[in-house]
Amino acid sequence: MSKTHFENLFRPIVIKNMEIKNRIALAPMGSLLAYDGGMPSQRLIDHYMARVRGGCGLIMLEDTTVHHSLALCFGEIGVGAIYNDSLIPGWKKLIDEIHKGGARASIQLWHPGRQAPAVGPERPPWAASMLPCPCPNCQDIPHVMSLADIEEIIDCFAQAARRVKAAGVDAIELCGTHGYLIAQFMSAYSNRRTDKYGGDLRSRMRFALEIIEACRAQVGPDFPIIFRFSADERVPGGRSIEESVAIAPWLVQAGVDCLSVSTGVYANVEAYTAAPMAVPKGFLMRDTEAIKAAAKVPVITVGRLNDPLIAEQFVAQGVADIVAIGRQMLADPEWANKVKSGELEDIRWCTSCSHECLHALMTKFTFRCQVNTELGREREMAIKPAATRKRVAVIGGGPAGMEAARVACLRGHDVTLFEREAELGGQFRLAAVPPTKQELLPYIKYQMRQLDKAGVKIKLSTEATAAEVERLKPDAVIVAAGSAPLVPQIPGADGKNVVGARDVLKFKAITGKKVLVAGGGMVGCETADLLASYGRKVTIAEMLPDIASDMVPGPKYHLLKRLEEQKVNIMTSCAIERFTTDGAVVKRDGVQETIRGMDTIVLAMGSVADNKLAKQLEGKIKEILVIGDAEKPGDATEAIAAGAKAGRSV
């Protein structure tokens, strides 16, 4: 297949006096990698420079606080700041490095408003209005800003803009998106004021327009100002695309040189702002087209544009002038270079899981990527040659085993990988079967190609027995054999009408028209989703009060929506006492019930580690590592991380 050319993505563009070498921007994403105090750490610099070297034209630096009080809220967890002049040199160090790498940089000036935690009772978050309920995530009751507070914050944005220009930054980006403070004033969803900053749309826009004008006065007429906002907030009473189209010309008249289009607020941040794979790629196309038609300035857009073919068409067709790539460049900092050279098969594909880069960031304050274990640790996690070359056997060709084999081989080891199935991929391949999950497959293809390029010897359809492994005479064995389905000790679980969820996903078991899925975790729910899409009438029985409790909110939201649309019957707090020939006897809230009329029962009640080979090799092989589900059933993030660690440690 001939290489595809992406000439539109790699045409230069000028915004005001800022020339950018291509149409690819790194979307602004919080990383929590800044020093306490707000200046860029070496780790943050390494993070951004990996994307600069990867060919990105515009680095849109993440949320940076403009007000000193926010340092109390966010300083300890590593958010950047530009609220006084002493911080300028730290940012200049980063900007100088970005410029040396041939890229341009904007910096996002930010105040979270009510979407911030309180710092004790004496320092609540600030907000445009008091609402019946606080921020959906932070939950603290905000302080309603007075006119004096508003004037103070406007000046803070303006002074931050001055500092940014002094640090050598190429442009400022005002954060009017995702329900943060500027957005809170702009939206009827969060602004219930009746003074000059609230009420009708023009009054709600006053705060944003005055910030733009104040920043323009500080940076002069030739310095680019970018304004980022949600075209549709996707909440009842929130700003709609119609209102956003109306305000776009006002933003330009006030002094904005470029509009950056996103979507959503904190109430739906995991469902749409960082959209999971259930949301179509390029889903903001129509919103972006509408904004671009309304305001004759360059437009940046986001929204699952990691497929370079779609990104190219967005630019070629004039949907947007620049595409902002977010999570994909966390997964693979070399994305732009690989696209330019046509090496698409070498892209480490983002799976749009949002598990670590968003959910864990917001709940655990950790910044990781499911498929890129080097994220945020680019310097210390660089792959280095092993001191001694070893013969390494890797047992299992799932995500953990493949990553272990890849890293070990790149370090110079002689690696042989054993996989009992006819194909690599393990549980990831099964996970890609249910509706909307197919985006896992490109990552499996990436891993397979990297194993081939590195020179890993692969033995498919081969059960790695102790004798087989010993014949190889390995110095080290990495056991990543995965897990086996848990068959519960419930009467009737071995019945003829009972099949395993894995067999359903492998299409080895064909169910009848009426199906009982025993187990309402992610596997059970996604199997139910698959069966319902094939016209089966499905009931889920789950012993916990909620289903899909092992899923993060974004993917869970879309899955539950599909289950509801397909009229899947969900029974929670439902303990199965025994299976019958056509259903099960269950106990719900202490009351026994009988489920009848089922043609097939599908077991999705968990997994058990498969580490028997490691036990058989004890005392025979000097170095044995057990990783992933073979050690303890868990998620793909932990499995891939364990594989990378094992590959570095042997």
What percent of the chain is helix, strand and coil (3-state, nearest 5)?
A: 35, 20, 45
CB 170 within 8 A of CB 104: yes
β-bridge partners, 302: none
Rg of the chain over Cα atoms, rounded to whole angstroms, equals 27
197 noted as active-site residue: no
CB 417 within 8 A of CB 401: yes
User: Up-side HSE of residue 88: CA atoms within 13 Å toward CB?
Assistant: 13
Catalytic residue among 35, 48, 83, 180: 180
- For 593, residues 6+ apart whose C-beta sits below 8 A from its C-beta are 585, 586, 587
Three-state DSSP string of 588-599:
ECCEEEEECCCC
Structure tokens at 99: 């410029």
β-bridge partners, 609: 483
Report the sign of the C-alpha dihedral through residues 361, 365, 367, 371, in that order.
negative
How wide is the angle at C-alpha 509 spanned by C-alphas 506 and 514, nearest 5°? 120
| C-alpha closest to that of 9 among 31, 30, 24 | 24
How wide is the angle at C-alpha 343 spanned by C-alphas 342 and 346, nearest 5°? 155
CB 570 within 8 A of CB 595: no
Distance CA 88, CA 469 (A): 59
Of the chain, the end-to-end C-alpha distance in Å amounts to 38
Burial of 327 (0-12, 13-18, 19+ CB in 10 A): buried
User: Tokens 């985006």 — which residue?
Assistant: 439
User: CA dihedral defined by 293, 297, 300, 301, rounded to 10 degrees?
Assistant: -10
Distance CA 448, CA 503 (A): 24
Pairing relation of β-strands 600-603 and 498-500? parallel
Which residues are known to be catalytic?
180
